[in-house]
């Protein structure tokens, strides 16, 4: 077999591997989004109160590390659904609050639609262009740390302008994360679809929550 044939075989094999990771990732992401939505519905129906912010942040930050440690075991998938279900449950009281505002339905619908459009558009761009966005990793990591510290600070400071700044920065960062995570599916030879699913879910969750805050502010109701 000559070099050209070997290259074609490698390319075909590589494409099959990429397609498998992409298919598994989006299938699992869709299932987890449904799980999260159902959990949010349960929380709203039962009138669940917001959970302590320390607990929510501990789960949001800690669970992905636990899932990563278990990514090659039988526990990875159940832990993923546990994570997304829990985060969906925490979203229930948030949605109840925004829906209770004047124009709340429009706020939630606008945030949902914007999240969906940004996700589809950014993912499609990364998939079609096949650009490698790994160079954004360092910037995104630093940005996430800064935003996280600002969120913790504003829990105590309660400054509306800082809240809006954090939300705007978070939407921009999550847009970058979607590009980065989608790029990983294409360019990482050993990409783990479970971990990419967890990361994409976190991107969407954070983006949606902060878009709710922004749209509520734009309508003058928050």
Q: Tens digit of pLDDT for each residue in 3-40?
A: 666 556 545 566 777 788 889 999 999 999 999 999 99
pLDDT confidence of residue 101: 93
Q: Kindly state the tokens that stand for 160.
A: 């509306």
Percent of the chain with pLDDT over 90: 76
As a whole number, mean pLDDT of residues 162-178 equals 96
Instruction: Return d(Cα 32, Cα 85) in angstroms, integer.
Output: 8
Instruction: Return d(Cα 208, Cα 146) in angstroms, integer.
Output: 19
Matching residue, tokens 């996700």: 119
pLDDT confidence of residue 80: 97
Instruction: Return d(Cα 123, Cα 133) in angstroms, integer.
Output: 12
Residue 198 has pLDDT above 90, yes or no: yes
| Residue 9 CB neighbour total at 10 angstroms | 11
pLDDT confidence of residue 222: 45
Instruction: Return d(Cα 148, Cα 154) in angstroms, integer.
Output: 10
**2 pLDDT tier (thresholds 50, 70, 90):** low
CA distances from 115 to 16, 110, 160, 218 (A): 29, 8, 22, 16
Instruction: Return d(Cα 32, Cα 198) in angstroms, integer.
Output: 9
pLDDT confidence of residue 76: 95
Q: Are 101 and 154 in contact (CB under 8 A)?
A: no
As a whole number, mean pLDDT of residues 66-91 equals 95
As a whole number, mean pLDDT of residues 214-220 equals 86
Q: Are 101 and 215 in contact (CB under 8 A)?
A: no
Question: What rounded mean pLDDT belongs to the chain?
Answer: 90
Q: Are 90 and 209 in contact (CB under 8 A)?
A: no
Instruction: Return d(Cα 18, Cα 189) in angstroms, integer.
Output: 8
Instruction: Return d(Cα 57, Cα 96) in angstroms, integer.
Output: 20
Residue 99 has pLDDT above 70, yes or no: yes
pTM: 0.91
**155 pLDDT tier (thresholds 50, 70, 90):** confident
What secondary structure letter does DSSP report for 18? H
Q: Kindly state the tokens that stand for 66.
A: 């636990």
Please report the DSSP string for 119-161 in residue order.
Answer: HHHHHHHHHHH----GGGHHHHHHHHHHHHHHHHHHHHH--HH
- In sequence order, what E strands does the chain have? none
């Amino acid at each position: 077999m000559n070099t050209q044939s070997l290259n074609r075989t490698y390319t075909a094999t590589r494409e099959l591997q990429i397609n498998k990771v992409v298919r598994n990732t989006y299938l699992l992401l869709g299932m987890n989004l449904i799980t999260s939505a159902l959990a949010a519905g349960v929380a709203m129906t039962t009138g669940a109160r917001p959970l302590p912010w320390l607990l929510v942040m501990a789960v949001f930050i800690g669970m992905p590390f636990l899932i990563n440690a278990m990514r090659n075991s039988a526990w990875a998938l159940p832990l993923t659904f546990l994570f997304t279900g829990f985060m969906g449950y925490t979203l229930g009281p948030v949605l109840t609050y925004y829906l209770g505002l004047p124009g709340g339905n429009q706020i939630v619908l606008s945030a949902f639609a914007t999240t969906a459009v940004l996700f589809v558009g950014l993912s499609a761009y990364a998939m079609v262009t096949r650009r490698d966005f790994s160079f954004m990793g360092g910037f995104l990591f630093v940005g996430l740390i800064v935003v996280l510290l600002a969120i913790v600070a504003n829990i105590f400071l309660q400054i509306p302008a800082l809240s809006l700044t954090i939300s705007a920065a978070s939407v921009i960062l999550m847009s970058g994360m979607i590009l980065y995570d989608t790029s990983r599916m294409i360019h990482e030879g050993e990409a783990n679809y479970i971990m990419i699913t967890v990361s994409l879910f976190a991107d969407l969750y954070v983006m949606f929550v902060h878009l709710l805050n922004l749209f509520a502010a734009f309508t003058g109701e928050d």
